Amino acid sequence: MAKKAETVNMVDRFAEFKELKNIDKTTMISVLEESFRNVLAKMFGSDENFDVIMNPDKGDCEIYQNLEVVPDGQVTNPDRQIGLEEAREIDPECEIGEEVSKQIFFEKFGRRAILNLRQTLQSKILDLQNEAKTSKFKELEGEIITGEVHQIWKRESLLVDEDQNELTMPKDEQIPSDNFHKGDMVRAIVKRVDTNNNNPKIIVSRTDDRFLRRLFEQEVPEIHDGLITIRAVARIPGERAKIAVESYDDRIDPVGACVGIKGSRIHGIVRELRNENIDVISYTANPSLFIQRALSPAKISSIRLNEETKKAEVFLHPDEVSLAIGKGGHNIRLATMLTGYTIDVYRDIEEGEEDIYLDEFRDEIDDWVIEALKDIGLGTAKAVLNARPEVLDQADLEDTTIEHVLNVIRAEFED
């Protein structure tokens, strides 16, 4: 009876393990049966002539081996056949050629068989857990999740959620000014689920645009309720962001609703994002007006669009050029990301003022150099000549390259 009890207790322990791992009863029974069958197949070469009956209420199982009844002394395959005399001990009325079911007591196969069963079952449960984990977090992709910082390495941090699932946050998915400590509670979005040999790795992010979207959905009831929709988001994580919103109700000011009274709604988001400056603008389907709003706080004098190539030439008063570009070129970069248009910024040329567009110098200055200068809002010769050294530095060009550009432009005006 001791071995019988051992088998029952073994199944009970697996049942307890099931509860801890949140596997439903039906699935667990199926896994148990499959595990028994795998072990039987290894022991007997096949499990085809076995019936495995699980008794979930008792916490054990019954195994029956279906054998063909043959005359005594003619048993050639004991795994498939049984002599008539032995068969009638099971079923007194059986005849040669019929089939009888012989009960197999698994515990009689010894500790090795039980260990094999345990390992097989644990492997299958692990596979089930990984599949369930993958499915769960696939559904959560793009949603905010909270985790406790468990371990910090140079290239990534390990978080655990309330169910003790491990979450990985690579360094490039962290805001540059994030400075976590073990035990900190951190919010992020589920970015993706990587799987390797059915082993899921949950990647979370605080730099993904969707993190900003979800934060606004949590802080602004009108967005959560669908009265305001987020049409576009652009971020330079930890530095600055722009978000375009639109209201479906004329009575609701989308920008005011997102900012809140005295900034009450947006302040929490800014703090979460490590003081990332957030510009909220009202979306419009008019591309010229949208670009104008996206370049705020700069005021545009005029704009020329090419909708086929998605390019925009924006003209501003000289005093507005630096505002359009922004610190480190962030404002124009975000406006480009938000609108989908490549934006070139030009100074307004006042009447009687002599100036030349940089494009006219392509035979003397490399195209990539001209584009780098235009990217920081320097689209004309005078704009380059009048630019302060710190503005020119934003083009990320070698000093010798900048000096060559200045010499070419100066020579043109001297001529």
Summarised one tens digit per residue, pLDDT across range 220-268 is 999 999 999 999 999 999 999 999 999 988 899 999 999 999 999 999 9
DSSP helix, strand, coil percent of the chain (3-state; round to 5): 45, 25, 30
Q: Strand 240-247: give its sheet, edge to edge.
A: 228-236, 240-247, 277-282
Residue 75 CA: distances (Å) to CA of 64, 69, 78, 105, 387: 19, 9, 6, 22, 101
For the stretch 37-74, pLDDT in tens is: 888 888 888 889 999 887 766 667 788 999 999 998 89
Q: Which of 44, 28, 53, 59 is nearest to 113 (CA)?
A: 44
Give the pLDDT of residue 154.
92
Residues of the chain with CATH 2.40.50.140: 140-207
Range name among 65-69, 347-351, 362-366, 404-408 with the lowest pLDDT average: 347-351
Residues of the chain with CATH 3.30.300.20: 286-415
Give the pLDDT of residue 1.
39
Residue 42 CA: distances (Å) to CA of 35, 76, 106, 178: 11, 20, 13, 54
* Spatial contact of 305 and 299, defined as CB atoms under 8 Å apart: no
Q: Could you confirm whether domain 286-415 is CATH 3.30.300.20?
A: yes
Is pTM beyond 0.75? Reply is no
- Beta strands 81-83 and 60-70: pairing type? parallel
Give the pLDDT of residue 14.
53
Supply the Cα-derived Rg of the chain in whole angstroms.
36
Residues of the chain with CATH 3.30.1480: 2-135
Give the pLDDT of residue 7.
47
- The CATH architecture to which 2-135 belongs is 2-Layer Sandwich (3.30)
- Of 79-93, 344-358, 384-398, give the range with the top mean pLDDT: 79-93
For the stretch 115-164, pLDDT in tens is: 877 787 778 778 888 888 898 999 999 999 999 999 999 999 999 999 89
What backbone torsions phi and psi does residue 370 show, to the nearest 5 degrees? -60, -45
Decide which of 1.10.10.10, 3.40.50.12780, 2.40.50.140, 3.20.20.30 is the CATH code for 140-207: 2.40.50.140
- Beta strands 199-205 and 166-170: pairing type? parallel
For the chain, percent of residues with pLDDT exceeding 70: 91
Residues paired with residue 304 on neighbouring β-strands, in sequence order:
313
